[in-house]
Structures are given as C-alpha cells and as structure tokens.
Amino acid sequence: MVISRLVFSRLDVVGDHVHFLDFPWLRSARGGAARVGMADDQDEVLDKLKELERENALLEMENHMLQHHADRVMDAVGEEGAEDGKKSAQKKQRMGKGKRDRVPQELTLQQKHEIASQEGDIVKEQVDECKSISEKLVDDLRALLEEADIKISEVSKDQYEFKRDVNPSAAGKPLAEKLLHFLEDKLRTKDSVVDKLTLKNAALKQQILKLENQLQHKEDRKSVV
C-alpha cells in the first residue's frame, strides 16, 4: 500500500493523459540506456571508419597504378602527339560554341583489368631485367674476387721466395747478384706462363673454328633437304 501511494503520488493526471513525473530511479535507468546507445553508436562509427580507411587505401593504390599507366602512355605518345591532341581539343571547343562534351569520370571493370594486366606485365619485365643485371653483376664480382685471391696467393708466394732467395744476412753471393738472379728467374717463369697461355689460346681458337665449320655444315645440309 505504501508503494502504491508513492507511485500515484508521482503521477500527474491531466484530462485523459497521464504524465509521469521525475523519479530518481527513472533518471538512472534512462541514463544507463543512453550510455548503452552511445556505446553502440561509437562501435558502429568505428566500424564504418575502418571500412572507409580500407576503401581509401585501395583507391590510393588504384590511383597510383592509373597514374603510372597514364604517364607511360603519355611518354610513348610524345610531345608531338600531345600537341596534336591539344589542338584537336581546342578545335572541338570552338566548334561546340561553349558546349562541353560529357567525359566519363570512371573506368569500367574491364578497362581497369586490362590496365592492371598491362602494368603487371611491365613490372614483371622490369623485375626480370633487374634480375638478369644483378646476376651478371654477381658473376663479375665473383670473377673479380677469384682473380684477387689468385693475385694475393701469387704475391704471398713471391714474398716468401724473395725472403728465401734474397737474404742480406746470408753468406754467399752479393746482394745485388742475388736480386738480379731472383728477377731473372721470375721473368723466365712469367715468359713460360705466357707461352703456355698462348699455345692454349691457339688451341681453343682452332677448336672454335672446327665447331663453327661443323655447325655451318649441318645448316647447309638442312637447307639442301
């Protein structure tokens, strides 16, 4: 009974309408519901924001690809083609008497697919070219390293032999004679190596010539058949 009197004491009857007056517990309930609604709205806004960020990233990538394609096409056309197109556009503008043709602002999915395929092929060619150049550079560097190792080994050997043969503290021949004898031996060794390489080079040339003649003979036989 006390509760009923308390409730009805908070009602205001005006005509046929019943108005609830302000209850402390009702204000608290309304506040909690408002906070729950605001939290749901914030989550929804965050989800939409993330979706927009993803779409913007995709559009940025697409614009970058289309810009690269447009720059490549304009470079291929050249300044002369661009100048002709400018003159043609000016002529159409004069003939149109102020009327502007409606230019499509978006590409179709088929057009985007063709452009993406072309750009993908170009990127693949560039990657293959860079790979070929890199492999050639690696081979050149490997050859240089091998040559440097050979030279280091030869210098170390010459240093050892020089200390062994030209020893100022050792008894025997004078130092100048030892040095002269050492240099003459080295020159004879170099001449011997040069002669061997010359003979090997001549043999390789003969072998190459022989293989070329065989290849030419096979091609001649194929052409006769």
**How do the domains of the chain map onto residue ranges?**
1-82, 114-165, 173-225
Partner residues linked to 19 by β-bridges:
12
Q: What are phi and psi of 106, to 5 degrees?
A: -130, 150
Quick one: pLDDT at residue 178? 82
Per residue in 105-159, pLDDT (tens digit) is 677 888 888 888 888 888 899 999 999 999 999 999 999 999 999 999 989 988 8
Q: Which of 10-14, 36-40, 72-76 has the lowest mean pLDDT?
A: 10-14
Partner residues linked to 11 by β-bridges:
20
The chain-wide mean pLDDT, for the chain, equals 77
Q: Which of 3-7, 122-126, 216-220 has the lowest mean pLDDT?
A: 3-7
- Above 80 in pLDDT, residue 100? no
5, 84, 91, 150 from 12: Cα distances, Å: 13, 84, 80, 109
Q: Residue 29: count other Cβ atoms within 10 Å of its Cβ.
A: 11
Using alpha carbons, select from 180, 144, 78, 69 the residue that is nearest to residue 114.
69
| C-alpha span between 4 and 132 (Å, rounded) | 92
Quick one: pLDDT at residue 32? 59
3-state SS track over 45-90:
HHHHHHHHHHHHHHHHHHHHHHHHHHHHHHHHHHHHHHHHHHHHHH
- Above 50 in pLDDT, residue 14? no
- Say which DSSP state 19 is in: E
